[in-house]
Amino acid sequence: MIFRRRSSAQLSFEAGGRSRPLEVRRMAQARRMRLSVDPRDGGVRLILPPRASMKAALAWVESKRGWIEAALDALPKPQPIRPGMVITVAGEALRVEITAKGRITRRDGDVLLVPGPEEMIGPRVLRWLRAQALALLEAETRRFAELAGVTVARVAVGDPRARWGSCSASGDIRYSWRLILAPPAVLEATVAHEVAHRLHMDHSPRFHAAVERLLGRSPDAERDWLRTQGRDLYWLGRAP
């Protein structure tokens, strides 16, 4: 079998020494079974019609073992954070090094100094990256809001799986902190997109015109980058 029940409600896919969550969803509009591997986390997802047999569905997924393993093999490689590795932050390359001085992760030129012990480097670097992302995204959001002549309430960061940014009707804007790992132009275009929602809470032609007006260019290149390379950003800090 390639399935193991993690709990009473959750299955996992077991293959090639790997274990991945198996998410099963029944959708009213589904006419047939559909299988996918999420490029952002390697999760295996199975969409079922409302009345499909679970036993038959799991047997079908098992028959797709070769396809799933190939899809998992094609995913970006996990990038655990280790001393000596280089991380691109807001377009600048920083080398991670352990320091015995102080208790705060800090930047010194092109080096990111992280207090030990070594097993704490990953969590400490990720916390530092989130803080840097929040500061930069807050500043960029306020800048674009001023250009647009709109107000923005709270700016926050998280680690969502589905969106790079979101804007609520109340004016709160939330971003993926991983945007700080992307080229600066990509971060900038994402901020312009979310701030433009303060003008138009839709994706109408007026909205897209507002994005281009704020950004001063078409965001097509940045959208293409996120579509083709954005998945790589999710693998920083993941263990093999």
CATH number at residue 185: 3.30.2010.10
End-to-end CA distance of the chain: 23
Local mean pLDDT, 10-residue blocks, the chain (240 residues): 53 80 91 91 91 92 91 91 97 96 93 94 97 98 98 97 93 98 98 98 97 98 96 91
pLDDT computed for residue 1 by the predictor: 46
For residue 27, give its domain range. 3-73
Specify whether 131 is located in the same domain as 176.
yes
Same domain, 119 and 163: yes
Please report the pLDDT score of residue 7 as a whole number: 47
For every residue of 86-133, which 3-state class applies, written as one string?
EEEECCEEEEEEEECCCCCCEEECCEEEEECCHHHHHHHHHHHHHHHH
Angle at 114 between CA 140 and CA 158, to 5 degrees: 40
The answer to whether residues 55 and 97 belong to one domain is no
For residue 78, being part of any structural domain is answered with no
User: Is 215 inside a domain boundary?
Assistant: yes
Residues 44 and 145 in one domain: no
- Establish if 53 belongs to a structural domain: yes
pLDDT at res. 134: 98
Residues 126, 180, single domain; the answer is yes
Residue 50 lies in a domain: yes
What is the pLDDT, as a whole number, of residue 5?
54
* Residue 179 domain-assigned (yes or no): yes
- Taking the C-alpha atoms of residue 178 and residue 157, their distance in angstroms, rounded to an integer, is 9
The sheet with strand 34-37 has its strands ordered as 3-5, 11-15, 18-26, 44-48, 34-37
For the beta sheet containing 86-89, the strands, ordered from the edge strand earlier in sequence to the opposite edge, are 86-89, 92-99, 111-115, 106-108
The H or E element that residue 147 is part of is helix 121-148
Pairwise CA distance, residues 198 & 155, whole Å: 13
What is the Rg, in whole angstroms, of the alpha carbon atoms belonging to the chain? 21
90 with 208, same domain?
yes
In a domain, 81, yes or no: no
* Domain match, 17 and 97 both: no
216 located within any domain: yes
pLDDT (tens digit, 9 = 90+) per residue, 20-72? Answer: 888 899 999 999 999 999 888 888 999 999 999 999 999 999 999 999 999 99
The DSSP H or E segment spanning 156 is strand 155-158
CB 19 within 8 A of CB 41: no
Final residue of a structural domain among 73, 102, 117: 73
Helices 205-215 and 184-196: crossing angle in degrees, nearest 10, is 130
- Domain identity same for 57 and 146: no
> Using CA atoms, how far apart are residues 163 and 35, in angstroms rounded to an integer?
21
Structural domains counted in the chain? 2
Three-state SS string over 2-34 comes to CEEECCCCCEEEEECCEEEEEEEEECCCCCCCE
Does 119 share its domain with 216? yes
pTM of the shown model: 0.86
Q: Would you state the pLDDT for residue 102?
A: 83
In a domain, 79, yes or no: no
Domain boundary among 73, 96, 122: 73
Looking at the fold, whether 123 and 165 belong to one and the same domain comes out as: yes
Query: Which of 73, 94, 121 delimits the end of a domain?
Result: 73
pLDDT for 4 equals 56
Same domain, 108 and 66: no
Task: Report the pLDDT value the prediction gives residue 2, as an integer from 0 to 100.
Answer: 56
162 with 214, same domain? yes
Buried/exposed code over 102-130 (b: 16+ C-beta within 10 A; e: otherwise): eeebeeeeeebbbbeeeeebbebbbebbb
Nearest 10 degrees: Cα torsion 30, 68, 1, 22: -50
